Structure 1
Amino acid sequence: MRKKGLIIYFIAVVFLLAACGNNEGTQESDENTNESTESITVTDAYDETTFEEVPERVVVLEWVYAEDLLALGIQPVGMADIENYHNWVNIELELSEDVVDVGTRQEPNLEAIAELNPDVIITAGYRHEGIMDSLEEIAPTLAFNPYPEEGQGNQFEEMKTTFNKLGTLFQKEDKATEVINGMEETFTSVAQEISDANVENNSFVLSQAYTSDNNPVLRLFKDNAMAVQIMEQLGLENAYESEGFQLYGYDEASVEALQNFQDANFFYIVQEDDNIFTNQLAGNPAWENLSFVEEGNTYGLPGDTWTYGGPLSAEVFANQIKNALTE
């Protein structure tokens, strides 16, 4: 009887341990399930959007967000205006040939987008407010604002914030941090190279110039422009000032507007076939008599210089400024 009792006792212990083991396994399984199904909430310019899983099929309607995806190691399935993206965005990472063009940035093709069955659409709100409902019918749509209103932050900080939000959406926070750190390291390195080159004058005016109705027009970049904020992180100082806030970060002006800033270095972006300085303004005293022209302190940047991109484009721009100053 005693031996039988011991046998029953050991059997009971074995069942108890097995039950505990099963319970622990169930709990661990539940915990793993919770981790794999944890939702992701991202705030864009309008609202919060919650995703139950990481989106895989992405359509992007603005170049800066396509660039952001590539920086995170993600290829979109569809994108707006691929041809001109290649003409302007000069980062080393390449867009896959499999990416489908879905029309222009101004008027994307809704049918082409729908055919791609995206999990998410990413765009700039200011471009597509009129079709947001249509985009939302296709897939959850994130619309960011690269041009903050006055008092709501600056373009450079917004760029970094949105990039990090995309890192969260695609669960690539570590990669996003790596990219931002790499950008800041580039700024530090470029600033040191400019300093080592003994550039005496760190004051600048940045312009993008073109012809409109046969008249030369200059975009003069203000302090809220991302390009200016990048240049200031390189140890330079924006000399251009004007009254009033400009959402896109620049005034459109004539050459006469440069009279008050001619002691600065003048950086300019022009297209080869539309160089107003060697065409319309050649021989014009309003241009030729400016101090930075007479003293040779004008610096041409490549015609495809892109001043509206993400972290990788910011690095390219910083190196373009350095090359213009030191070569």
Structure 2
Amino acid sequence: MISKPWIGCIARRLVLVAGTVGAFVTAQPVMAEETFTHELGEISLDTHPTRFAVSNWALTESLIALGIDPVAIPEADGYRAWVVEPKLPESFIDLGTRREPNFEALRDAKPDAILISTDVAMAHEKLSGYAPTFVYSIYNTGSNEPAIDRAETLLRNVAKLAGKPDAAEDVIASVNARIEAAAKRIRDHVGDDAKFAVVRILDESHFRIHGKTSLFGSVLGRMGFANAWDGDVNGWAFHNGDVSDLAKMGDVQF
């Protein structure tokens, strides 16, 4: 009853309240020079960027949650099929794939900042030739930090860069309120001691089982519930398993 389709790295729970916070910024706010830290170093700017190009759907969702429409987005059709909410803006340039951005399209988008994850960090130097490029990731960072916590950190970093730190706090507070309300509904049905297997069905016999630090797993933990899967997970904090893996977990909420 908890699991439902989810793609990509982003912290989907952080962005379902998109559109409730802020408004699209149309001019770069003037500021004193400020240094922004990202996963590959520091970048100093004297204006807050407003025209963002993004390399993945997590960053897309985060910007939209802050009330900012990205000017360049990858795999828009895939986003509409898998992510759905929050809805994409009406106008933007399609950057091609998430792993191989179209540099000609990026140039045409004229971003004043580019947001990428560690998945394409190898292109950081080349991307930086188009605009200051910041690396913010949720997964594949070598950290065991829960994904929901990393999603909040990502949102705060992007909001600071955009000059909208209060918007991030509003989104996070709203999301946590929704998580708390959902936890109460679930607890009313299954009590306090239930264990959950958070699973996506891939085919008749194969499953994707989400670990404790995945987005699903970390939301479950924040609700105060136990995750039945304590085995190995990959860089996205899930395990590709089969029916035998489910059998090992015993009597659990599925």
Q: Does 1:222 align with 2:211?
A: yes
User: Any conservation in 2 of the 1:205–1:238 contact (CA below 8 Å)?
Assistant: yes
2:65 and 2:171 in contact (8 A); partners too: yes
What is the DSSP-based 3-state SS (H/G/I as helix, E as strand, rest coil) of the residue aligned with 1:108?
Answer: coil
1:100 aligned residue (81, 93, 98)? 93
Cα distance in 1 for residues equivalent to 2:253 and 2:227:
10
Shift of 1:250: 1.3
Task: For 1:97 and 1:184, locate their aligned partners in 2 and report how far apart those are by CA, in whole Å.
Answer: 29
Higher Rg of the two aligned structures? 1
Structure 2 residue runs without a partner (length 5+): 1-28
Match of 1:106, SS? coil
* Gap runs ≥5 in structure 1: 1-34, 267-327
Contact 1:61-1:79 at 8 Å conserved across structures = yes
Task: Give, in whole Å, the separation in 1 of the partners of 2:192 and 2:164.
Answer: 42
Q: Aligned equivalents of 2:187 and 2:242: distance in 1?
A: 32
Instruction: Pick the aligned partner of 2:226 from 237, 250, 267.
Output: 237
* Equivalent in 41, 64, 87 of residue 81 of structure 2: 87
2:136 corresponds to which of 132, 139, 144: 144
User: Residue 232 of structure 1: CA displacement?
Assistant: 2.2
Shift in alpha-carbon separation, 1:198–1:239, aligned structure 2, 3 A: closer
Asked whether the equivalents of residues 54 and 114 of structure 2 are also in contact (C-alpha less than 8 Å), the reply is yes
State the match for 2:13 in structure 1.
Answer: none
Hey, what's the Cα distance between the residues in 2 that align with 1:179 and 1:37?
A: 24
- Give how far 1:61 is off: 1.4
Deviation, structure 1 residue 41: 2.4
Q: CA deviation at 1:153?
A: 2.4
Contact 1:239 1:264 in 2 (8 A): yes
> Which runs of structure 2 are paired with 1:149-168 in the superposition (5 Å)?
149-151=141-143, 153-168=145-160
Q: For 1:154 and 1:187, how far apart are their aligned partners in 2? A: 15
Matched-pair contact (CA < 8 Å) for 2:192–2:225: no
**Is residue 2:240 matched to residue 1:252?**
yes
Q: CA deviation at 1:199?
A: 4.7
Is the partner of 1:40 in helix, strand or coil?
A: strand
Say whether 1:121 aligns with 2:110: no
Displacement of 1:201 = 5.9
Q: CA contact under 8 A between 1:148 and 1:158: conserved in structure 2?
A: no
Aligned to 2:17: none
In structure 2, the partner of 1:175 is: 167
- Shift of the alpha carbon at 1:124? 1.0
Compared CA separation, residues 121 and 152, structure 1 to 2 (3 A):
same
- Report how far residue 119 of structure 1 moved: 0.2
Q: The residue matched to 2:202 in structure 1 has which SS? A: strand
* Matching of residue 46 in structure 1 with residue 34 in structure 2: no
Q: What is the identity, as a one-letter code, of the residue corresponding to 2:106?
A: I
Matched position secondary structure for 1:138: coil
State the secondary structure of the residue aligned to 1:107.
coil
Deviation string 1:52-111 (CA, Å, 9 cap, x unpaired) is 1011211111101111111111111111111111112243x4322111111111211001
SS in 2 for 1:265: coil
TM-score (structure 1 length as normaliser): 0.64
* RMSD (Å), alpha carbons: 2.0
Counterpart of 1:49 in 2: which secondary structure? strand
Alignment partners' CA distance in 2, 1:101 and 1:263: 46
Shift of 1:190: 1.2
The amino acid across from 1:182 in the alignment is S
Equivalent position SS for 1:114: helix
Secondary structure at the residue paired with 1:233?
helix
Identity of aligned residues (%): 25
Counterpart for residue 207 of structure 1: 199
